[in-house]
Amino acid sequence: MPVELNEDLPVEALNDRSGLLELLETRRSASAKALTGPGPDAAELERLLKIAARVPDHGKLTPWRFIVFEGESRDRAGDVLVRRYHELHPGHGEETLAQQRQMFSRAPCVVAVVSSPVADHPKIPEWEQLMSAGAVCQNLVIAATAMGYGAQWITGWYAFDTQVLAAFGLDAGERIAGYIYIGTPTEMQGDRPRPVPASITTRF
Ligand SMILES: Cc1cc2nc3c(=O)[nH]c(=O)nc-3n(C[C@H](O)[C@H](O)[C@H](O)COP(=O)(O)O)c2cc1C
């Protein structure tokens, strides 16, 4: 089934916060590399996390949790990445190490959404619990955008490396569903083409 793509929206039409449907129709991620302060304050972040946790969750298992990186904890997280990167790639240059060090400092606030599924649940398959964590990520992106911030859901090597994850306090059965970078965009990204629904939809 060939996927047809819509034309991009003009930049000025993106992230229209005049209404919920308008925002969903025009939502565009920010670039994690182009986020600066301010980020959400304590009350705003609490509100964002409350919204993020309001997702479909079969069996009320809460199979996800958050780790917040703000302020100097972003530097400590960067140190974890540098140490591990150095172990994995001893031949890197200083410039690459510097990039790793500032990975969390690119935005004022980074929220790791940790997928924490209940193992061998008699009724709820793990698949459903993983998808619920994805819904948490997307809720957080939408809520942060609705609050006027820029947000991007990213992963990268440091979402998958078991030693990094252990340093961040994840247990063996837990995984990073995403790092949600939140802040003030220094530039608005242009749109990208989106699938035309008719080209990806059949009727049974
Ligand atoms: C699980 C997941 C992981 C992602 N990881 C990255 C990433 O590491 N780097 C990146 O540039 N985009 C990543 N993306 C894509 C961005 O979140 C985003 O979709 C993209 O920048 C397009 O923006 P849009 O939300 O406006 O479509 C990821 C998306 C998902 C769902």
pLDDT at 92: 87
pLDDT at 21: 98
Residue nearest to atom 26 of ligand 1 (CA): 28
Residues with a CB atom less than 6 Å from ligand 1: 28-29, 152-156, 178
CA dist list (Å): 165 to 30, 81, 112, 128: 25, 10, 11, 22
pLDDT at 1: 77
- What is the whole-number distance in angstroms between the Cα of residue 125 and the centre of ligand 1? 26
- What is the whole-number distance in angstroms between the Cα of residue 32 and the centre of ligand 1? 10
pLDDT along the chain (204 residues), means of 10: 92 97 98 96 98 98 98 98 96 92 97 98 98 98 98 98 98 98 95 97 98
Four-residue CA torsion sign, 44, 45, 46, 51: positive
pLDDT at 195: 97
- What is the whole-number distance in angstroms between the Cα of residue 153 and the centre of ligand 1? 5
CATH class of 29-200: alpha beta
Phi–psi pair at 116, nearest 5 degrees:
-130, 65
CA dist list (Å): 130 to 20, 62, 121, 133, 139: 26, 11, 13, 5, 15
Domain ranges of the chain: 29-200
